[in-house]
């Protein structure tokens, strides 16, 4: 029963937080400092999700050249920097990972 109260409470907090921005839209203008800070939230969250997967596959720090995820991530980062396109970065990153895994599997035979 306690777990359900926690789940419902967390859901309500999340819902009310998101609803507050929708309900106040046009009625309240956040301070400039808050607006500038909120611009950094998406890249910070994305970085917090992606970097551990690239640097710590299996929960252990791994910075070697045999870390295929890291190599594909570097290719995606270079593509994003060069093209400024999220879609190209995703395509190159995923394509690089699949290609590296295929080549690695082929070499392991």
Predicted local confidence at residue 97, as pLDDT? 96
Q: Is 85 left (phi over 0), alpha (psi -120 to 50) or beta?
A: beta
Predicted local confidence at residue 82, as pLDDT? 96
Q: Which domain holds residue 102?
A: 41-107
- Those residues with Cβ within 8 angstroms of residue 83's Cβ, 6 or more apart along the chain or in another chain: 89
Predicted local confidence at residue 102, as pLDDT? 95
Residue 74 located in a structural domain: yes
Q: What is the mean pLDDT of each run of 10 residues along the chain (109 residues)?
A: 93 92 81 92 91 89 91 96 95 96 86
Residues in the chain: 109
d(CA 27, CA 38): 18
Number of domains in the chain: 2
Report in angstroms the alpha-carbon separations of 3 from 7, 8, 17, 96: 6, 9, 21, 41
Residue 36 located in a structural domain: no
d(CA 57, CA 5): 34
The three-class DSSP label of residue 79 is: helix
DSSP state of 63: -
Q: Are residues 24 and 73 in the same domain?
A: no
Q: Are residues 67 and 14 in the same domain?
A: no
Q: Are residues 23 and 51 in the same domain?
A: no
pTM listed for this prediction: 0.66
Predicted local confidence at residue 77, as pLDDT? 95
Q: Are residues 5 and 57 in the same domain?
A: no
């Amino acid at each position: 029963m306690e777990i359900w109260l926690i789940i419902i409470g967390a859901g309500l907090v999340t819902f009310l937080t998101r609803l507050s921005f929708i309900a106040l839209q046009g009625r309240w203008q956040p301070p400039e400092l808050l607006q500038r800070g909120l611009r950094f939230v998406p890249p910070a969250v994305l970085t917090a999700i992606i970097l551990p997967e690239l640097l710590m596959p299996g929960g252990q720090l791994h910075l070697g050249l045999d870390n295929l995820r890291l190599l594909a991530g570097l290719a995606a980062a270079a593509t994003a920097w060069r093209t400024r396109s999220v879609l190209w970065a995703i395509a190159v990153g995923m394509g690089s990972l699949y290609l590296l895994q295929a080549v690695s599997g082929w070499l392991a035979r």
